[in-house]
Structure 1
Amino acid sequence: MSANHQHGPAVGTADRGLRNRLLIAFGITTLIVLAQAIGSVITGSLALLTDTAHALSDASGLLVAVVAATMMLKPPNNRRTWGFARIEVVAALGQAALLLVVGTYAAIEGLRRLVEPTQVPAGELLVFGIIGLVANIVAMVVLSSSRDANFNMRAAFLEVLNDALGSLGVIVAAIVIATTGFQRADTIAGLFIAALILPRAYRLLRETVRVLMEFTPKDVDLDEVRTHILALDHVQEVHDLHASTVGTGLSVLSAHVVIDDECFESGHAPQILEQIRSCVKEHFPVSFEHATIQLETTAVRERTCTEVEHA
């Protein structure tokens, strides 16, 4: 006896409103890339060049996020039983990889320019820094209300936030150069941007890899889950216990539970099944709305063990 308990479609976290916000943010970021690319050519600034590369990665990541959000709107079918719920995780992984590349480049180039500083016109640098900051603030406002909706939106907001901080670094560098003539301020700002990018990109990469590798959700202790189930009356053993995450807000759990043989004879098995589902749903921080529980007799368990040993 088994049960697969489901509530709603797998694409429940997808929303056309999220996609529209991403489209707006993508348009704004694309304009930032064009403006800052022109500015980096005019000024020769490392900070502005790094921020341009960062904005370019943002625009690419947001484009991927738009595509992912669009695909997530497609409903499940017999060939794709979860729909495209996991595409947001794949998109976030790609964005994290882009950020790591940009951050690494900025760090290497920054170290080189510390030794060989270049002359940067402060006035032009300040203008382009302000343009980038204002545009990024607008994009952040657009995305802020939905930044925790899923991995995809988190990655998109993170990229825009990092780019805004990078633009702020450009502005500070321009002011320092204008007031003191310290040209290495531009390089230091570039390194500052790299320092913002790398740790956040690493954390996002780690979280998305956890999902793709189907690791147990970080707030779930499977030993504790097993202990709770074993504490129920008539439960003898719990084996093949697995938990993973398909997408944001979509955690799944499966288990084989051996119960007393007489529970099947008396018709008590369905009640035990419901108790197990309620236990899993109520006692853990992650809500396992999709829980597949297979009830087994002692004989079935022994036969399964025998088959495994002779396999």
Structure 2
Amino acid sequence: MSDHSHVDSKGAATAHAGHAHGVSADADKRWLVIALALICAYMTGEVIVGVISGSLALLSDAAHMLTDAGAIALALFAMRLAARPPRGGYTYGLKRAEILSAQANGVTLLVLAGWLAYEGVRRLIFPPNVEANLVLITALVGIVVNLVAAWSLAKANRASLNVEGAFQHILTDLFAFIATAIAAIVMLVSGYQRADAIASLVVVALMLKSGVELVRAATKVLMEAAPAGTDPDAIGRQLAGLDEVAEVHDLHVWQITSGQTALSAHVLVAPGGDCHAVQRRMQALLGSEHDITHTTLQVDHATAHTSLAIDASLPAEQHCENAHGPTHRA
């Protein structure tokens, strides 16, 4: 398939529509840098207070904040890679570096959740003495810091799965501080030391949820699955239903990176039909109704052998011997 329109002696036409190439360009790196600075500064103080107070909840929060800092730093690095122009064998550039970053953030959340679950259960059985006053003060300050960091990341473009991964780290940490503050109040009022471990286990549940969602979303992009909410079969039927279209096959819908959906298809036009007119109608429909502007359409004239059989029970001869994917006919 060509990157520009052309017509051959058989009346075949291919097109690569104009398209935009970047969610990452819209993501404001300054907001991520602000969030990273806040997290690093506070994490250092939290480790010190956590060791002095003997609080697992604070140490687990600090460990999570370390992954927060790593997540934001990785997101910034992935943005830089994704901004590089295509070259050599990387015909899409390095845009999927952002997806790899998001997946790494999800895996990190899951691994950390496993370790904290083990420590939380152990301390639930054998609760240590915890300095609840220090825990409460640190947790309250942590809530403020994470609110500001979450607000900063929310200002960036969260349509990027990369930015969303970093945001989920910060959001889970915010919930963790809220749980820690509640645990500290319970310990101060009732002396119930196991509240600290229970707060850690609540954080574990939140981390598992965020981690699984991030890994699942990133894996779908890497496996070139259709974006959420997009039904390739419905699109195929809609394209096949246009005037002068005899058949649509080899239809593929995938994401190059977050928010950048691509589509390719082989289209057979009924004998006597206008290939270029069909191509333009398809591009207009895909752009207006499905927000897909990155399209590659190979359009050919159907011959007598490949045109539809009048009797639906009689299968039409396949145009491509090794067509991959379902065939859609009018």
Using the size of structure 1 for normalisation, the TM-score is 0.90
Q: Is the 8 A contact 1:228 1:279 kept in 2?
A: no
The separation in 2 between residues aligned to 1:258 and 1:270, in whole angstroms, is 12
AA of the residue aligned to 1:293 = L
Which of 297, 300, 303 lines up with 1:296 in the alignment? 300
The separation in 2 between residues aligned to 1:149 and 1:305, in whole angstroms, is 37
Partner of 2:198: 188
Aligned length: 300
The separation in 1 between residues aligned to 2:176 and 2:220, in whole angstroms, is 28
What is the CA distance between 1:22 and its match in structure 2?
1.1
- 2:24 aligned with 1:13: yes
The separation in 1 between residues aligned to 2:204 and 2:173, in whole angstroms, is 11
AA of the residue aligned to 1:292 = T
Of Structure 1 and Structure 2, which has the larger fraction of its residues in helix? 1
AA of the residue aligned to 1:305 = C
Partner of 2:57: 47
| CA separation of 1:40 and 1:11: change in aligned 2, threshold 3 A | same
The separation in 1 between residues aligned to 2:248 and 2:318, in whole angstroms, is 16
Which moved further from structure 2: 127-136 or 215-224? 127-136
SS at match of 1:7: coil
Q: Is the 8 A contact 1:5 1:289 kept in 2?
A: yes
1:92-128 CA distance string (max 9 Å, x none): 1110111111112112211121111111011111222
The separation in 1 between residues aligned to 2:265 and 2:127, in whole angstroms, is 62
| CA separation of 1:171 and 1:279: change in aligned 2, threshold 3 A | same
SS at match of 2:229: coil
**5+ residue gaps in structure 2?**
1-12, 307-316, 324-330
The separation in 1 between residues aligned to 2:272 and 2:152, in whole angstroms, is 59
What is the CA distance between 1:147 and its match in structure 2?
5.0
Q: Is the 8 A contact 1:236 1:260 kept in 2?
A: yes
Partner of 2:312: none
How does 1:274-293 map onto structure 2 within 5 Å?
274-284=280-290, 287-293=291-297
Aligned identity (percent) is 33
The separation in 2 between residues aligned to 1:307 and 1:161, in whole angstroms, is 48
AA of the residue aligned to 1:5 = A
AA of the residue aligned to 1:198 = L
Q: Is the 8 A contact 1:147 1:157 kept in 2?
A: no
Query: Alpha carbon RMSD of aligned pairs, Å?
Result: 2.0
- 2:37 aligned with 1:27: yes
What is the CA distance between 1:134 and its match in structure 2?
2.0
Partner of 2:279: 273
Which of 3, 10, 16 lines up with 2:15 in the alignment? 3
Which of 166, 185, 201 lines up with 1:175 in the alignment? 185
What is the CA distance between 1:12 and its match in structure 2?
5.0
Partner of 2:119: 109
The separation in 1 between residues aligned to 2:322 and 2:216, in whole angstroms, is 37
What is the CA distance between 1:51 and its match in structure 2?
0.9
How does 1:50-89 map onto structure 2 within 5 Å?
50-77=60-87, 79-89=89-99
What is the CA distance between 1:84 and its match in structure 2?
2.6
Q: Is the 8 A contact 2:61 2:177 kept in 1?
A: yes
The separation in 2 between residues aligned to 1:135 and 1:164, in whole angstroms, is 9
Q: Is the 8 A contact 1:255 1:292 kept in 2?
A: yes
What is the CA distance between 1:225 and its match in structure 2?
1.0
Partner of 2:164: 154
| CA separation of 1:156 and 1:231: change in aligned 2, threshold 3 A | same
The separation in 1 between residues aligned to 2:321 and 2:284, in whole angstroms, is 32
Using the size of structure 2 for normalisation, the TM-score is 0.85
Partner of 2:232: 222
The separation in 2 between residues aligned to 1:23 and 1:119, in whole angstroms, is 37
| CA separation of 1:5 and 1:75: change in aligned 2, threshold 3 A | same
Which of 114, 131, 145 lines up with 2:155 in the alignment? 145
AA of the residue aligned to 1:44 = G
Partner of 1:257: 267
AA of the residue aligned to 2:222 = L
1:31-72 CA distance string (max 9 Å, x none): 222112112211121111211111111111111011112223
| CA separation of 1:144 and 1:107: change in aligned 2, threshold 3 A | same
**5+ residue gaps in structure 1?**
none
SS at match of 2:28: helix
Partner of 1:235: 245
What is the CA distance between 1:182 and its match in structure 2?
0.5
- 2:215 aligned with 1:205: yes
SS at match of 1:261: coil
The separation in 2 between residues aligned to 1:165 and 1:283, in whole angstroms, is 38
1:132-158 CA distance string (max 9 Å, x none): 222212212212222524111111111
| CA separation of 1:296 and 1:22: change in aligned 2, threshold 3 A | same
